[in-house]
Chains A and B, each alone.
Chain A
Amino acid sequence: MRQSTPDSGNTLRQYRIVGLNLAVILVVLSAAAIVPRNGQALVIVYPWSDPGRVIEVIADAGGSVMNGTGAPYAAIAHSDEPGFAFRLFKSGAMLVLDGSLAFFCRSTSSP
């Protein structure tokens, strides 16, 4: 196979190009992994909020709580309406992830 034999400057440039592509790919794939699907979302509020704060946020976003987690500031919510994640952020959620990532918070029970 033909091997490119660039000098060090050229090699660094090649690494940079590949790194840029890889970064875009990782961002896209990570987004795909963490963006909620099927209306299920892991809702996380600020840890120092009141214990019932996460429930209020989900309720304000028009969703329903599907499951709790080991942490008081996180819960798995569901809504069939599109734009659920956006509404959750608007209601005061700190972070909204895909519902399947609830293992980060050691889910207490299965639905």
Chain B
Amino acid sequence: MNYMTSLRTRAAIAIVSLLWINLGLMILRYLWGMQADPVVVLGGGAAIAAVATLTWWRDRTGTATQISTALAHAASVALLVYAFSGSPLQIDMHMYFFASLAICASWVNWQPILAFAGLTAVHHLALFFLIPAAVFPGETDFSRVVLHAVILILEAGALVALGHSLSSAFAQNDEAMRETEIANKQAGEMSRKAEAAQQQNLEDARKREAERASDTERLQFAMQSLGRGLRQLAEGDLRFRLNDRFDDTLEVLRSDFNSSMESLEQLVAELSTSARQMSEGSNGVCADAERISQRTEQQAVSLEETAAAIGRITENVQTASKRAGEAGTLVDEATKNASVSEQIVSKAVSAMTEIEGSSRQIGQIITVIDEIAFQTNLLALNAGVEAARAGEAGKGFAVVAQEVRELAQRSASAAKEINALIETSSTQVSSGVTLVNQTGEALRSIGEQVKHINDYIAKIVDTAREQAADISEINSAIVNMDQTTQQNTALVADTTKSIRNLAVDADGLVAKLAVFSVNERAMSTPAPAARAKPAAPAPRPSAKTAKPVRHAGGGAAAAAAQEWDEF
């Protein structure tokens, strides 16, 4: 707070207090007795003082407060003058206007002075024209108003000038005080800054020293760590990592070293895995190749046996062909015999036919004999009848006739028996002829079938001959296969040797890579090739590696046989 404000704050209290003192004067005037309306005077005075006091309360030294209190003072004095209406002291109360104006000048501001003067002028002019008795007692004229106005203007001007001078002086004083204060502050600030700068310099020097020592220490630490890492690398331990952080500027070295070791470890692990897989694979291939060699030899032996068997088959076929030729000869003979039998049968048939004719002639003769017997019997009967008619003379004749008749009957019955025998003989001859004819037919068909057999046997002989030729070709082909198998056996033996060398080399590679120590994690990481070809045939199980196939037991042999069958 500067001096001007302090002055105005104190003056405000006096100015506001004076408003209430004026109210007290009005009350005294009322008690003394006045013509003016007490409600207007006292109530108005209290209202004016209250509003001005509230204004001051809200803003103690503001411009509005200054102007409002000045206006309130002018109004308050006007009310006092009004309260003295009818009193000879009313004109003297006008001096209070000038006193109040001077009091309002304690604001040291032209605005309240001007407001006071303006309100007073307006008040006087208005009332002079409206109610002269309210401002001036008795008779008055405009010259009094003018005189009062001139005095008012003079006083207001003088007070404004005085206020201006005071204000300038206060302002200069305040400015000087402020400048002094600023200079003091600046000096203090400079001194504090100088001290802070010195302190800062000392701290910077200490910091630099500490940073230098720290840098040296960090550099030494980084170099020691790197040296330790390189020693581990030289000893083949790829698991080593630099876990302690380096300085920010050297951190890249640590990360590069760690990433290099990581890559190297990964690479060696993958190499190790690949070499191990290669070793396992080559061992498996070696065992397979040995089995193949073994089987190729077995195959050669089998081929030799097959060639011998085919030779025997060839001989058998030739023997069969020969037997077929002999069978053909026998069949020819049978055919010829069949033809002879046919002629004999024809002859037998002719003989039988002749016998049949002879029997038929015998039958005809017997028929004649039978007819003679019948006629004889008939004559004997007639002879008996004649003998009877002749009586005694005919008795003898009758006996002869009886005898003749019995003879005739016997002849007839004998003829009948012979006829029956000839019939039977004829029937049997006919059946004999039929049988002989059938025999001839059978012999003829046998002859024809023998001819067919002869043809078939001739064809069999031709086929057997062709088979013999084909088997000879098969035999020569098998001989060629035998030679090729022999060559394959030699090649497989060479291949087995090469693969065994490869397995030995792979084992050597594994052993050399075992010098490097890597993490289990890196070992378990699948090799890129294995990842790229997941469908590729996996190497044989480790049991196969543990027990090489060439020394494998029955289970491995069975597995190998299965593989061979698949092959």
Residues of A within 8 A of B (CB): 1-2, 4, 13-15, 17-18, 20-22, 24-25, 27-29, 31-33, 35-38, 98, 100-101
- List 20 other contacts, CB 8 Å, given A28-B45, A29-B123, A35-B39: A1-B109, A1-B110, A2-B109, A2-B167, A4-B63, A14-B62, A14-B63, A15-B64, A17-B65, A20-B68, A21-B72, A24-B48, A28-B44, A28-B48, A29-B78, A32-B36, A33-B134, A35-B37, A98-B131, A101-B130
Is the C-beta of B127 less than 8 angstroms from some C-beta in chain A? yes
The reply to whether A37 and B109 contact each other, CB–CB distance below 8 Å, is: no
The interface residues of chain A lying within 8 Å CB-to-CB of B163 are: 1
A34 to chain B, nearest CB (A): 9
The reply to whether A33 and B75 contact each other, CB–CB distance below 8 Å, is: no
Instruction: Please list the 3 inter-chain residue pairs (A to B) with the smallest Cβ-Cβ separation, ordered nearest first.
Output: A28-B44, A21-B68, A17-B64
Partner of A18, one of B43, B71, B131, B134: B71
- Among A29, A100, A101, max chain B CB count under 10 A is at A29
The interface residues of chain B lying within 8 Å CB-to-CB of A32 are: 36-37, 40-41, 44, 78-79, 82, 134
How many chain B residues have a CB neighbour from A under 8 Å?
49
The reply to whether B55 and A35 contact each other, CB–CB distance below 8 Å, is: no
Q: Which of B34-83 contact A (CB under 8 A)?
A: 35-37, 39-41, 43-45, 47-48, 51-52, 55, 58-59, 62-65, 67-68, 71-72, 74-75, 78-79, 82
The reply to whether A4 and B62 contact each other, CB–CB distance below 8 Å, is: yes
Is the C-beta of B414 less than 8 angstroms from some C-beta in chain A? no
Partner of A25, one of B48, B65, B130: B48
A107 to chain B, nearest CB (A): 14
- Given known A2-B109, A2-B171, A25-B119, contact A37–B48 (CB-CB < 8 A): no
Residues of B within 8 A of A (CB): 4, 35-37, 39-41, 43-45, 47-48, 51-52, 55, 58-59, 62-65, 67-68, 71-72, 74-75, 78-79, 82, 85-86, 108-110, 115, 119, 123, 126-127, 130-134, 163-164, 167, 171
The interface residues of chain A lying within 8 Å CB-to-CB of B37 are: 31-32, 35-37
Q: How far is the CA of A56 from the CA of B12 in the complex (A)?
A: 53
Q: How far is the CA of A36 from the CA of B37 in the complex (A)?
A: 7
Chain A: interface secondary structure? helix
Could you jot down 8 A-B contacts, CB within 8 Å?
Answer: A1-B110, A4-B63, A14-B62, A17-B65, A21-B55, A31-B40, A37-B36, A37-B86
Q: Which residue of A lies closest to B52 (CB)?
A: A21
Q: How far is the CA of A28 from the CA of B26 in the complex (A)?
A: 14
Q: Which residue of A lies closest to B133 (CB)?
A: A100
- Given known A14-B64, A18-B71, contact A33–B52 (CB-CB < 8 A): no
Q: Which residue of B lies closest to A13 (CB)?
A: B64
The interface residues of chain B lying within 8 Å CB-to-CB of A18 are: 64, 67-68, 71, 115
The reply to whether A33 and B130 contact each other, CB–CB distance below 8 Å, is: yes
The interface residues of chain B lying within 8 Å CB-to-CB of A17 are: 55, 58-59, 62, 64-65, 68
- Among B35, B163, B171, max chain A CB count under 10 A is at B35
The reply to whether A28 and B64 contact each other, CB–CB distance below 8 Å, is: no
- Given known A28-B47, A32-B44, contact A1–B108 (CB-CB < 8 A): yes
Q: How far is the CA of A20 from the CA of B75 in the complex (A)?
A: 14
Q: Which residue of A lies closest to B4 (CB)?
A: A2
B488 to chain A, nearest CB (A): 114
- Among A13, A24, A27, A100, max chain B CB count under 10 A is at A24
The reply to whether B127 and A33 contact each other, CB–CB distance below 8 Å, is: yes
Q: How far is the CA of A13 from the CA of B119 in the complex (A)?
A: 21
Q: Which residue of B lies closest to A39 (CB)?
A: B35
A18 to chain B, nearest CB (A): 5
The interface residues of chain B lying within 8 Å CB-to-CB of A31 are: 37, 40, 44
Q: Which residue of A lies closest to B34 (CB)?
A: A37
The interface residues of chain A lying within 8 Å CB-to-CB of B134 are: 32-33, 100
The interface residues of chain B lying within 8 Å CB-to-CB of A21 are: 48, 51-52, 55, 67-68, 71-72
The interface residues of chain A lying within 8 Å CB-to-CB of B127 are: 33
Q: How far is the CA of A7 from the CA of B72 in the complex (A)?
A: 26
The interface residues of chain A lying within 8 Å CB-to-CB of B109 are: 1-2
The interface residues of chain B lying within 8 Å CB-to-CB of A14 are: 62-64
Q: How far is the CA of A24 from the CA of B126 in the complex (A)?
A: 17
Q: How far is the CA of A37 from the CA of B37 in the complex (A)?
A: 6
